[in-house]
Structure formats: C-alpha cells, structure tokens
A and B are shown apart, each in its own frame.
Chain A
Amino acid sequence: MERFRLSKGGVLTKPKSDVLQGTLALLVLKTLAQGPMHGYGITLHIQRVSSDVLRVEEGSLYPALHRMEQLRWIGAEWRMSENNRRARYYRLTAAGRKQLAEEEKNWARLTEAVAAVLECA
C-alpha cells in the first residue's frame, strides 16, 4: 500500500532541520490527538511541551497542515477561539489516527536503531 511521506522529495520548503521536517507531521498529529486546535495553538503547544527546544516555523507549518488536510488525516472548521477570535480549528480524523499510530511506531524504530549504533562505540 502506498504511503505518503511528507519529508520525501522536498514537497515542502527547504527544511532547516531534516529530522524536524520529517517529524513535523508526527508532532502535529500527536498534538491534535489531544483535542482540536488552531495553527497558532499547535506551535505554542509543541514549543511549550518540548521546553522550547522545538520551534515550528510558521513557514513550514501551514503547508504541512494544508497537505495533511488534503490527505484527510486532519479536518478543519472555523470556530471562535478562547479570546472570541475567529480561528480555523484542526482535528484528527480516523485515518489520521491510524497514520499517527504508524508514525509513532516508525519513530520508535528509528530512535532504537540510532541508539543502537551510538552505543556500539
């Protein structure tokens, strides 16, 4: 079965950090797994939870969101935010949930493999 990788082929903008680019989808999906959120909220969440280590560039976020929306991993609708401001909220779909599980599995395998290589000093 075909899989669509966000990081392959330079679909998005030139990545500052390749690892971050490839995992952007993973991070966004995980963020949304906790509940619907708008784009700004997503950047804040990731920044906060990673203790400011990971900063999502706005320039990378929106193309990625658009792409994931078209892949039907996430859905979107306009809602009123906390401060009574109109914002576009994204939520995870069933397909997105499956994709998230897949990406989490892959990430685990990747980190294991890298750790194994590093330990073998």
Chain B
Amino acid sequence: MSWLSRLKSLLQVQRLEHDLDDELLSHIEMRTEDNLAVGMSPEEARYDAQRRFGNLTLLKEETRAVDIVGWMEATGQNLRYAGRMLRRNPGFTLAAILTLALGIGANVAIFTLVEAVLLRPLPFPHPDQLVRVYDDIRSSNTHDVGMSVPELWDLRDRSEVFQDISVIFPADANITGGERPERVEFLGTNANYFTMLGVHAQLGRTYAPGDALPGFSEAVVISDAYWHRGFGGDPNVIGKKIRVDGDLYTITGVLPPDFHHPGRTLTADVDLWATTGFAAPPFPAPPVRAVRLLPGVMGRLKPGFSLAQAQAQLDNFVAQLTRQFPDEYPLAAGWSIRLVPAQQDLVGNVRTELLVLFAAVASVLLIACVNLANLLLARSASRQREMAIRLAVGAGRSRLITQLLTESILLATISGVAALITVVWLKSSLLHLAPANLPRLSEVGFSLGVLLFAFLMSILTGVVFGLAPALQAARTSHRSALSEGTRGAGTSNHQLKFSRILVASEIAVSLVLLIGAGLLVRSFEHVLEVQPGFEPHHLVTAKIWLAVPNDPKGDPYFTPEKRAAFHQEILRRISALPGVEQAAIGNGTSLPIDFNHFQSPFIIENRPLDVERTPVAEIATVSAAYFSVLKTPLLHGRVFTDSDDTKGQQVALIDETLAHRYWPSSDSDAIGQRLQLAVARRGQTSAAQNPWVRIVGVVGNIKSDGLDAATPPHIYFPVFQTPPYSAVVFLRATGEPGVLSEALRTEIQHVDPGIPVFSVRTMETVVSTFLAERRFALELLGIFAGVALLLACIGIYGIMAYTFSRRINEIGIRIAMGAQRTDIFRMAFEEGAVTIALGVGAGLLGALALTGFLESMLFSVKATDPLTFGTIAALLAAVTLLACLLPAHRATHVDPLIALRHE
C-alpha cells in the first residue's frame, strides 16, 4: 500500500471528505431521478435512494477507515517481511546490530550527561529566576571579591530587583561528641535560603521565620546523605542535638535525597546547613560596609524580570550606592555587581567539553551508518532480481522504498533497544568514568528526554543508512535486471562513484575527530610539562580546621597567640615523625593547584597610587619551612624564621612575578621595601589600619590556581604572625607518602582531640584530580576518534574489495592481454588513493573550520596548529592507504582463466 498516497490522503483529508460527500450525493441524485422516471413520488424516490445507503455517516466512516486499516496491514506486512529478511542473513544482521548498538549506546550515554548537566533546568520552581550575585572591582580586574553585610541588606530592601536573596557561605565545620571529631561540609545562609529555592524537608522542617536572627539560630538542617552516614537514617533524628564548632545545635529537618545545593562547595556535597544574619559573633558586630565578609550570594529575581533588565536596574542601584558611600566605594575603583544565572554558574565551564563530546560521538555513529549504507548498496545488487520481479507485477516504487526502509529502521530499532538496555545496565560503571567533580553528576539519570532521544536516534539512524540503498534498489530498471543472465552485474558506475564519495566523507569526518583529539593530546602534554614551582612527589597534605564557636569567649583559639602556639606544637610533633623529612604549615590558600584563593589589592610604599590599575596579589600565610618542604627556590633575601612571630616586626615574602612586575630593573630591589594590604580585614573599620610589612625575600613562582592558569603574583605572610583557623599541613616524606596519614592524624589529635583532620592526600592526587576533567575529555575524544578511524579503514577496505570483485572480468582480460602485475596494482591503488586524497582534503578544510570550537579546551596550542594538522593527516593517509593495499594486492593475483569464467 502506497505510503505516498496515504500521506497524500492525510494531507488532503478535507478535500477527500468533500469528494466523498459529493460522490455519494450524486449517486443518490441519480437513483432518485431513475426512481422518479419509474413513477415513484418525489418523497418515495428520494427516500428509497437514501435508504439503500443505510447509515450515511457510518458509511463515510468505514470508507475512511479503509485508509488506516490498509496502512496498518501494509506496515504489518512490511515488518514481517523485514524480519524474514534479517533472519535470512544472520551474520550481517548480527554485525550490523552490534555496530549500531555500540554507536547508538555511546550517543545515548553522552546525551544522558548533556541532558542532566546542560539541558535540564535546575530542579527548583522557576529556576530561571535564580542568580548568583558577584561583586567585581574593575580597576584591579578582580572578580568575585565578596560582599559586605550592609550591602546585602541594601540589595534586599532597596534595589527592587530581588524577591529573595541569601548569603551562601561554604565552610568546614567540626562535629564533636562522637568517637572522633568529624569534619563536615557546611553551608551558612540566611533564614530564607530554603524558601528562596522552594525546597521542603522530607522529615521535620527547614528554617522558620523565628530562625532569622542576627546570629546563628539553633536550628540546623542536614542532608539525606549525612542523615544516613552519621545517624543511620534514624527517624528520631529530629530534635537531636549536635555540637558544631563547639556550639550546641538542634537538628530540625532532613532534606530530600535529590536536593543538592546549586553551587560550588569546598570539597563535597553539603552535609549541614545553619542560618545566621551574619550580624553577630562570630562575625563582627555591627557589620561594617568596608569589610567584604560574605563570599557568595544567591538571589531570586522578581517575576517578570529578564536578566538584562535586572542587570540594568542593578547597575543603576550600584551607581546610587557609590554616590551615597564614597569612602567604601571609591569611584575610581570601579566596583560593580554582576548577575549570573545559577545554572550557567554551575555548569558553564563544562558546556564546551560536553558539546564537543556529543558532536564527536554523533559523528562516529554517522560514520558507522555510512559504512552500513555502503554495505547495503553493495548487497542491493544481489537483490535486484527480487526488486525487478516485484516492480514487474505492479508494486509501486514507493512501496518498495517503504519496504526497504522498514528493514533498516527495524534493524536500527532493535539495535537501539539493545543499546538502551546495555547503557541502563552499565549505568554505574559508566558514571565512574566521569570526572568526580563534574557538576550535577548526581542528577544524571534516565529521564523521558533520554528515552525519547534513544528512540528518535534509532529511527533517524535507520533512515540515514537505509535511504540511499532503498532509493538505489528501487531505481532498478526491471527490464535489464530480468534479462541479465549474470548474477548482479547491474552495478552501475554511478553507484560505485556514490559509494566512493561516501567513503571519502567518512575519511574526512575521521580526520576532523583525530585532529581534535590530537590538539587535546598536545594541550594535555603541555599542561603536564608545566613547572608547578614545587616538587609534588613524596609530598603529603592534610587540612585541619580550628572550630569557630559563636561566642568568642568559648573559643580556645581566639587570640592569635593561642593559634600560633597550636600550629607550632603541631609542627614540632609531625616533624619528629619517622618517615618525615620536613614539615610545614600554612593557611587554606597555601595549598597549590587546589583552586582556592584570596586576592587582595595592596599599596607599595613611596609609590604613586594608580587607582585605575591597582596592584593585586594572592595572599597566603606559611611557616618558615614551607618553601623548603615544597622545594621552591629562594631567589633573594631570606625566608621566614622562627623569630618572625606576633611580637616581631611584620614581614612578608613576595614571588618572582610580583618582583618582576613592580621592580623590573632588579628583583632584589624589592628587599627592604614595604607594602600594605588595601582591604579592610575582619575586626577593622578601614584598610588604613592594616600594618605596613617589610619585604625580606623573593621566592620562586608557585602555580597556586592550577597548572593551566597564568601565575598571579603572591605575597606570603608568616603563619605565626597571622595564624589562621583553617590550616593545611605539608609533609615531605622520605619514603612512601601514603603511610603517613594515620600517624599524622594521631599526632594532631594528641595536641587537641577535638580537631578533625581531613582531605589527607598526596600532592600527586591533588594534581591528578585537577587534571581529571581534562583527561576525561581527552580520553573520550581519543576513543571516538580511534573508532572513527577504524570504521573509515573498514569502509575503504570494503569499497575497494567490492570494486575489484565487480571488475574481476575486466582485470582478467587486462592480464590476459599482457598487463603487468604492477600495472594492475597501480590502477587499483590509484583508485583508492584518489578517494583518500579527497577525504583528507575535505577533512583538513573541515578541521580548519571547526577546531575553533575547541579553543577554550586548548592549552598553549593554536586551534589551527600546523604541526598537529600535518602529522595527523599524514598518519590517516598512511593508515587508509594501507587498508587499500590488501584488495589492490589481491587484484594483482587474479588468475585470468578463473576471472574470465567468473559470472
């Protein structure tokens, strides 16, 4: 049954209905006339005519139903026939299903990632209204400098942009009272955080209006994961008291298992939420506008606001505040507030990678389809008799095409189902392959979108590889096929040329993928070659967190002296451990590679102030042995000594970058100069209260922000002059670094059993975690490119072998007429070489056009790097030429006698 006419009839349903109506009407009229002629009265005549039709509506319905029933019948027959055809060639069918299942499966897997991370909106009501709010200082080109509490209040009450706004303050927290102290991932927020997101507790409640206090409310909320991990899923956990950073809190709620804080955290998913107004101890009270205390802010825009409108209104408000508070917001500094949609903030930096991977895997499936299409084209020659007969007895061409397409779609759908089952079955193993710090990884799952995608992809695949062979087969002229005595000699040159173009396009696509992978490989190599500025092997790090209780009087480490004493005792003990060559301690930002920084503008004494471009440096505090433990060279002057404590003169070290930049003639000129940090610190009211520190030495650069970022300038302060609450311990091990973790933990807990030790890692682990994302993209793209190459080789081998099998007669004649083997070989080879050359040429052009998309993933390699392009093109050409060799070689060994007899 012709699908074309069914389609036509569907489109012309209206016309058809009218046609049918008219036709029936005219029939009735004609009978009425005849009845009148026989002598019936007009009423009788018409009545009789109509009665014969019975229920007119029913008749019309039945006539139309013939369409649908016919279509169903035809499709059923198509499917049954297709099934028979597939069963008849089990080898081909199995191979095709395996290839397609692999291709479709890979696509579904990557799409699952793309869907969960990029496409699916955040799981909150009106997620497009959620934004992150960032403060930037344009003059020093610093971003995300933090917000002060009074500024937050202004945004909440006076800006008219937000319907809700809350601080998000990630931190470490000590849970004590159990067997050993535990460090949990903590998030401090305002009391409206959960209502802003639209989240309800699964057990108990989130914050109530009564929890909106200037200081910490007693209510805390825990995550589902922490509920199971720390409390065994105990349903009586509501009302339980826990000691966090020395203070007693009450658990009031447990959050649902699928809730994740939609932002970055320190190490892992948030375990514990507490709420405070940030306007009481342990925060400075009353809050000061000059102190940018709050590291993160999230808001929900008023309904009806687009992002652009909100940003514009916010810019006006910023200008207003700048005029109102000129001391805190100096005009020349260029303070501005930037809104970023929450989803973009969370996943923005992996977007390019995921889309590139998706394009790559789709290309691989495309190549597989092209191979199958070529294979089917070749086989269509053997089915020509079947097609010719069917055409001769009256099947429409479109019927034939539908039949053949049904076969390929059936094949593809079976493969799709197999692929889906495999991906679902292997879900957890596949998830392990993804880098652990991929945002929204926990949301990855099989949604309706994924199923729909799998279904559509299967159908599309079937059409793509089935269409050309179907059209080709139905184009056969029945006369020539039936009258040929020879088996399948009807392959036209036209068809062969088409096949060769397909293979050339395969080669082109493979080349693009390979070049992309090559560029990523070179980037990765370059990143690995980057000198980190320290020696990462045999280096162990661990983090410790001195609890910050709300009441300073309850804080045993409130004074800097007490903290310094603690750090000194830790250092003394762990330096004495067996297996430790040397130990050092520093604050949270002293851990290299781990992305965690604190920037501050500063002033150099006796230099004119350039307010347009304020000098900015990253700040860290470290102990005397830090540079020696890290094996970072001291270039000029001296490092810290034990006498650089709270009582001594304030000193600092700077790195090479800073020295070069501000003392370009000679680094050592910096020694003896003084500088002052230009941002107010906690406990101060203005930056002018910061001490002037003397530079006593210049050290080498350390890559603190990761290996592929430019090195910012650093200023180091002695840890005992500004002892931190959050510290990192560094151990240079003499032997295996792994064994030191337990000993380290024990020693620290001897000093204070209430202090948790966490994130105990070797520096090598830190580096490889950093590289994980890059490595993931590289490995996957490499695998896809490799598979593409393999398929392209199979493609060209196949087409060459097929071409020669068609031309065996011709080759036999040539040899019989005296052609040398080398002539045959050359002829055979040339054909393949032309196809390959076409493919490589097209691939190079395509790569030139497309590798620009990889720009953000590359490191120190141009997207059009000629060395990469050239090497890979040569490699591909060599491999594919090799794939040509075998059929070409076989062609030369044709025995002319056998060839001439070949039918």
* Neighbour of B77 across the interface among A2, A40, A85, A87, CB < 8 A: A2
Task: State whether B30 touches A85 (Cβ < 8 A).
Answer: yes
B52 to chain A, nearest CB (A): 5
Q: How many B residues touch A, CB cutoff 8 Å?
A: 38
CA distance A39 to B33 in the complex (A): 15
B54 contacts the other chain (CB 8 A): yes
A106 contacts the other chain (CB 8 A): no
Q: Give the interface centre of A63, A85, A95 by most chain B CB atoms within 10 Å.
A: A63
Task: State whether B33 touches A83 (Cβ < 8 A).
Answer: yes
A45 contacts the other chain (CB 8 A): no
Task: State whether A70 touches B27 (Cβ < 8 A).
Answer: no
| Chain B residues in 8 Å Cβ range of A9 | 73
| Chain B residues in 8 Å Cβ range of A39 | 23, 27
* Neighbour of A66 across the interface among B27, B63, B77, B395, CB < 8 A: B63
* Neighbour of A59 across the interface among B59, B65, B396, CB < 8 A: B59
B851 contacts the other chain (CB 8 A): no
Q: How many A residues touch B, CB cutoff 8 Å?
A: 30
Task: State whether B54 touches A70 (Cβ < 8 A).
Answer: no
Task: State whether A63 touches B26 (Cβ < 8 A).
Answer: no
Task: State whether A63 touches B63 (Cβ < 8 A).
Answer: yes
* Neighbour of B63 across the interface among A40, A62, A81, A99, CB < 8 A: A62
CA distance A26 to B70 in the complex (A): 19
| Chain A residues in 8 Å Cβ range of B22 | 86, 88
CA distance A40 to B390 in the complex (A): 34
| Chain A residues in 8 Å Cβ range of B154 | none
A67 contacts the other chain (CB 8 A): yes
B67 contacts the other chain (CB 8 A): yes
Task: State whether B394 touches A88 (Cβ < 8 A).
Answer: no
* Neighbour of A62 across the interface among B26, B59, B77, B395, CB < 8 A: B59
| Chain B residues in 8 Å Cβ range of A63 | 59, 62-63, 65-66
A10 to chain B, nearest CB (A): 9
| Chain B residues in 8 Å Cβ range of A81 | 26, 30
| Chain B residues in 8 Å Cβ range of A66 | 63-64, 66-67
B452 to chain A, nearest CB (A): 32
CA distance A81 to B22 in the complex (A): 14
Task: State whether A58 touches B70 (Cβ < 8 A).
Answer: no
Main secondary structure of the interface of B (DSSP, over half): helix
Task: State whether A1 touches B393 (Cβ < 8 A).
Answer: yes
Task: State whether B396 touches A72 (Cβ < 8 A).
Answer: yes
* Neighbour of B19 across the interface among A2, A58, A88, A99, CB < 8 A: A88
Q: Which residue of B lies closest to A65 (CB)?
A: B63
B879 contacts the other chain (CB 8 A): no
A110 contacts the other chain (CB 8 A): no
Task: State whether A40 touches B30 (Cβ < 8 A).
Answer: yes
A71 contacts the other chain (CB 8 A): yes
B29 contacts the other chain (CB 8 A): yes
Task: State whether A71 touches B1 (Cβ < 8 A).
Answer: yes
Q: Which residue of B lies closest to A95 (CB)?
A: B394
B54 to chain A, nearest CB (A): 5
| Chain B residues in 8 Å Cβ range of A62 | 20, 23-24, 59, 63
Task: State whether A40 touches B1 (Cβ < 8 A).
Answer: no
B300 to chain A, nearest CB (A): 59
A88 to chain B, nearest CB (A): 5
CA distance A16 to B192 in the complex (A): 76
Encoded as 1 (CB less than 8 Å from any B CB) or 0, chain A from 39 to 58 comes to 11000000000000000011
Given contact pairs A59-B53, A63-B63, A70 touches B394 in the complex (Cβ within 8 A)? no
CA distance A4 to B67 in the complex (A): 14
B98 contacts the other chain (CB 8 A): no
Q: Which residue of A lies closest to B19 (CB)?
A: A88
Task: State whether B389 touches A1 (Cβ < 8 A).
Answer: yes
Task: State whether A12 touches B23 (Cβ < 8 A).
Answer: no
| Chain B residues in 8 Å Cβ range of A30 | none
Interface residues of A in 86-109 (CB under 8 A from B): 86-88, 94-95, 98-99
Task: State whether B70 touches A67 (Cβ < 8 A).
Answer: yes
CA distance A83 to B34 in the complex (A): 11
| Chain B residues in 8 Å Cβ range of A71 | 1
Task: State whether A38 touches B26 (Cβ < 8 A).
Answer: yes
B69 contacts the other chain (CB 8 A): yes
B31 contacts the other chain (CB 8 A): yes
Task: State whether B27 touches A1 (Cβ < 8 A).
Answer: no
Given contact pairs A1-B393, A59-B53, A62-B24, A12 touches B30 in the complex (Cβ within 8 A)? no
Encoded as 1 (CB less than 8 Å from any A CB) or 0, chain B from 55 to 78 comes to 000110011111101100100010
Given contact pairs A39-B27, A59-B53, A11 touches B33 in the complex (Cβ within 8 A)? no
Encoded as 1 (CB less than 8 Å from any B CB) or 0, chain A from 65 to 83 comes to 0110011100000000101
Given contact pairs A59-B53, A62-B63, A40 touches B5 in the complex (Cβ within 8 A)? no
| Chain B residues in 8 Å Cβ range of A59 | 53-54, 58-59, 62
CA distance A12 to B396 in the complex (A): 23
A97 to chain B, nearest CB (A): 10
B159 contacts the other chain (CB 8 A): no
Task: State whether B1 touches A70 (Cβ < 8 A).
Answer: yes
B406 to chain A, nearest CB (A): 13
Q: Which residue of A lies closest to B26 (CB)?
A: A87
A5 to chain B, nearest CB (A): 10
A25 to chain B, nearest CB (A): 13
Q: Which residue of B lies closest to A97 (CB)?
A: B394
| Chain A residues in 8 Å Cβ range of B62 | 12-13, 59, 63
Encoded as 1 (CB less than 8 Å from any A CB) or 0, chain B from 394 to 437 comes to 11100000000000000000000000000000000000000000
B2 contacts the other chain (CB 8 A): yes
| Chain A residues in 8 Å Cβ range of B70 | 11, 67, 70
B23 to chain A, nearest CB (A): 5
A57 to chain B, nearest CB (A): 8
CA distance A115 to B681 in the complex (A): 114
| Chain B residues in 8 Å Cβ range of A72 | 2, 5, 394, 396
Given contact pairs A11-B66, A71-B1, A86 touches B26 in the complex (Cβ within 8 A)? yes
A63 to chain B, nearest CB (A): 5
| Chain A residues in 8 Å Cβ range of B5 | 70, 72
Encoded as 1 (CB less than 8 Å from any A CB) or 0, chain B from 346 to 388 comes to 0000000000000000000000000000000000000000000
Task: State whether A70 touches B53 (Cβ < 8 A).
Answer: no
B72 to chain A, nearest CB (A): 10
CA distance A62 to B52 in the complex (A): 12
| Chain B residues in 8 Å Cβ range of A86 | 22, 26
A51 to chain B, nearest CB (A): 18
CA distance A4 to B393 in the complex (A): 13
| Chain B residues in 8 Å Cβ range of A88 | 19, 22-23, 26
B17 to chain A, nearest CB (A): 12
* Neighbour of B26 across the interface among A11, A85, A94, CB < 8 A: A85
CA distance A59 to B57 in the complex (A): 11
| Chain A residues in 8 Å Cβ range of B33 | 83
| Chain B residues in 8 Å Cβ range of A4 | 1, 73
| Chain B residues in 8 Å Cβ range of A1 | 389-390, 393, 395
| Chain B residues in 8 Å Cβ range of A83 | 30, 33
CA distance A71 to B53 in the complex (A): 24
* Neighbour of B393 across the interface among A13, A85, A98, CB < 8 A: A98
Q: Which residue of B lies closest to A3 (CB)?
A: B393
Known: A59-B59, A95-B394. 19 other contacts (CB 8 A): A1-B390, A1-B393, A1-B395, A2-B81, A11-B70, A39-B27, A57-B54, A58-B53, A58-B59, A59-B53, A62-B20, A62-B59, A70-B9, A72-B2, A83-B30, A87-B27, A87-B30, A88-B19, A99-B394
A-B contact pairs, 29 of them (CB 8 A): A1-B389, A1-B393, A2-B77, A2-B81, A4-B1, A4-B73, A12-B62, A38-B26, A38-B27, A39-B23, A58-B54, A59-B58, A59-B62, A62-B63, A63-B65, A67-B66, A67-B70, A70-B1, A70-B2, A70-B67, A72-B394, A81-B30, A83-B30, A83-B33, A85-B30, A86-B22, A88-B19, A88-B22, A94-B394
Residues of B at the A interface (CB closer than 8 Å) are 1-2, 5-6, 9, 19-20, 22-24, 26-27, 29-31, 33, 52-54, 58-59, 62-67, 69-70, 73, 77, 81, 389-390, 393-396
State the 8 A-B residue pairs at the shortest beta-carbon distance, nearest first: A95-B394, A40-B27, A40-B30, A88-B23, A58-B53, A67-B66, A63-B63, A87-B26
